[in-house]
Every structure is written in C-alpha cells, then in structure tokens.
Amino acid sequence: MAAVAVHQFAQCITCHAWSPDHSMVAFCPNNNEVHIYKLVNDKWEKVHVLQKHDQIVSGIDWSGKSNRIVSVSHDRNSYVWNREGPEWVPTLVILRLNRAALCVRWSPKENKFAVGSGAKTVCVCYYEQENNWWVSKVIRKKHDSSVTSVAWHPNNILLATTSTDGKCRVFSTFIKGVDTRESKTGSSSDPKFGEQIVQLDLSSSWAFGVKWSPSGNTLAYVGHNSMIYFVDDIGPSPLAQNVAFRNLPLRDVLFVSEKMVIGVGFDCNPMVFAADKSGLWSFIRFLGERKESLSGPKSGSQFSEAFGKLYGQAKHGLSNDTVEPSKIQGAVHDNCINCIALLNKKGSQTKRFSTSGMDGKVVIWDLGNQQDLKEYL
C-alpha cells in the first residue's frame, strides 16, 4: 500500500506544514493554536504550541529556506513566527482585512507570501525592516466571493487563486523594491501589481485547491462539482482540459511530477490523475485500496445512512432495522482530507507527500513502491 506512516495527532486537523528537514510538523488541531511536533527516537513529541490567534487557524506554511512559519486565522490576523533560541517569536502582519483569512502560501523566494480571504481580496505581504513588521499590498475588486486557495508560479511573480465564485484567476504580484526585473514574466509590457493575466470560467461551482506544475507550464484546480481542471499556456489563449469523475468532490491537489497530480477531498482517499504522451489527462486510480461493502441494496443503504445520521440511530443503535452504511475498506483516512503537502527533499528520487484531514490524522504516502505509476513520475 502507498501509505507508509499514519499518525493520529488530534481529533481534527484543519491544515499542516513541514519543517525544511521534515523532522517537525506544524498543524492546527481545529482551534486557535498551532501545535509543533518533533520526531524523537521514532516517536512524535509535542515541542511547541504557538498561541497568538483568537479564532480557528485556517492556514499554515513553513518556509523551506528561512525556516519561518506563517499562520492565518479567522480572526483576520496573520503572524510570521521566527525561531529565536528555544522559542518561536511572532511578528505582526498588517493585513487590513474585515473578513476571515482563509489560506496562505510563501512565494518561491520566500520574500513574500499571499493570503486569501473571505473579504474577496488577496493580500501580498512583504517585510519592512524599518518598522519590523510585514505589510501588504491588496488585490481588490477582482473576486466576487471568498478566495479559497492561492498558489505561486515558480517565477515568484504570478499568483493563481481560486474562489467560491467558481473562477480561477492569475495575477501579477510584482512589487517594486522587493522583486527584481529578471524575475518578471519577460513580456514586452511588464504587468503591474494586481493586473489580472487570465480568468478561467471553467467551473460551475465553488473552486478549490489550485497548484502549478514544477515547471510552471500547467495549472490545476478543482471544483465542487467533482471535476478537476488542467490549463496550459496561461495567457490570452489558454488550453484547458477538464476531467469529470463519479466520486465525491476534491478539496486540494498536488503535482508530484509534470505528468501526475494527486487530488484529495471528501472521498477520504487520494486520487491519481496523469497525462499520457499526448498530454491528455485522465483519472488513473485511488492510492488506497477502495472496496465497498454493502449489506443491502445501494440506494437503500445510502438512504438508511442519511436517515441514521439525522436521528443518531446509526451511531447509537436505536433501531434494529438500521442498515449498516457503506464503508470504504482499506482507506487510511476516516474523514475528509483537506490538506496535502509534498515531502521530497532536494536531490532525492523518492516521491513522498503527506495528507491531513478532519479525522485528525497525518498520513505519509510513498509513490516509489507503486510500479504502475512509475511511468508518470
């Protein structure tokens, strides 16, 4: 099986991120704290608890070069945490939001980070040495609803976003004095900060989990309509593909190579999507063994499951007539997977990633032992 390690850290996890050497993991146990665990003698021990937010922490990212943690919360605030001796010291971030902060990502050069919010805005933050705080420039009046996910292009300038208005957008985030001319997109007319490069209207429902491929040539995101979208040649005339599947919707995606994407979501089981030699994307299989065991007709089982959840009969056994709900045998996660992170180290040939979900588990997956997937890695 592809899952090589399963760790039950909490009852529910909203998001997680790894330290640069992967010896520590930071996650939010569905409250206003960030817990940091360290692997000591093959056991995970809690070493730090970051307490600054007033409401649930909705996003965490751990920079790979500077070893800094950025956190955002529904309290509309963000903090950058720096390691000073044995403690983590927070630095204030000026977001100027009037709604919850929902997601955050460091840029590839780690001189900026982007925050998506429920205020229909994206804050691009950078450090001001004189005042010892992080300030933000805001992309306004571009989104019609909450920004659910952000993703940086490898060039450190382009930023992709998804929103509950069903659209995926790509913006320029060039900031004078922070970015260099060499890192611009190379077009004759360089885009200014906040300029929209492209707007993709492919989904008819909420959009989530946008990611760039390692080269930056392909963009992938998911919709709440059980579809995943792949877009090449970002610009005036992008080339788009969509893959529909019969399972529950996805919440996040991850490129493990130029030809392979892992999608995670409400099916509690990572899904593998891959492109063939002609560039056509398709669903390959679930990573975990997926076997449905039904104790009755499918429609009757689904109806009884919903009825039992509503009245508590399935949990407490109040009725002898309750039909056992359908279950996924072999699936590692017991609830929705809402976060996925790459675990590859530089120079390593292994293809590992981790997932966390509402069941409180962090699961590490290894694609190296999946013989049928090696052609896509």
Q: pTM of this prediction? A: 0.87
pLDDT digits (tens, 9 = 90+) for 71-90: 999 999 999 999 999 999 99
For residue 275, is it within any domain? yes
pLDDT of residue 51: 97
For residue 65, is it within any domain? yes
Closest by CA position to 200, among listed 217, 220, 174: 220
Structure tokens, 78? 């963000």
For residue 249, is it within any domain? yes
Enumerate the β-bridge partners of residue 18: 25
Structure tokens, 90? 């927070």
pLDDT of residue 315: 43
Report the alpha-carbon distance of residue 344 to residue 347 in Å, rounded. Answer: 9
CB 7, CB 24: distance < 8 Å: no
pLDDT of residue 324: 32
For residue 348, is it within any domain? yes
Kind and range of the H or E run holding 47: strand 43-51
**Total domains present in the chain:** 1
Q: What is the pLDDT along the chain (377 residues), one digit of tens a residue?
A: 689 999 999 999 999 999 999 999 999 999 999 999 999 998 999 999 999 999 999 999 999 999 999 999 999 999 999 999 999 999 989 999 999 999 999 999 999 999 999 999 999 999 998 888 999 999 999 999 999 999 999 999 999 999 999 999 999 999 999 998 765 554 445 689 999 999 999 998 999 999 999 999 999 999 999 999 999 998 888 999 999 999 999 999 999 999 999 999 999 999 999 999 999 999 999 998 654 444 444 444 454 555 454 444 444 444 333 333 334 445 799 999 999 999 976 655 568 999 999 999 999 999 988 989 989 98
For residue 332, is it within any domain? yes
Report the alpha-carbon distance of residue 350 to residue 64 in Å, rounded. Answer: 18
Residue type at position 63: S
Report the alpha-carbon distance of residue 91 to residue 93 in Å, rounded. Answer: 7
Q: Which domain holds residue 110?
A: 3-178+191-288+300-315+323-373
For residue 186, is it within any domain? no
For tokens 């039992």, name the residue: 308
pLDDT of residue 368: 86
For residue 7, is it within any domain? yes
pLDDT of residue 318: 41
Q: What is the mean pLDDT of the chain?
A: 88
pLDDT of residue 237: 87
CATH code, 34: 2.130.10.10
Enumerate the β-bridge partners of residue 289: none
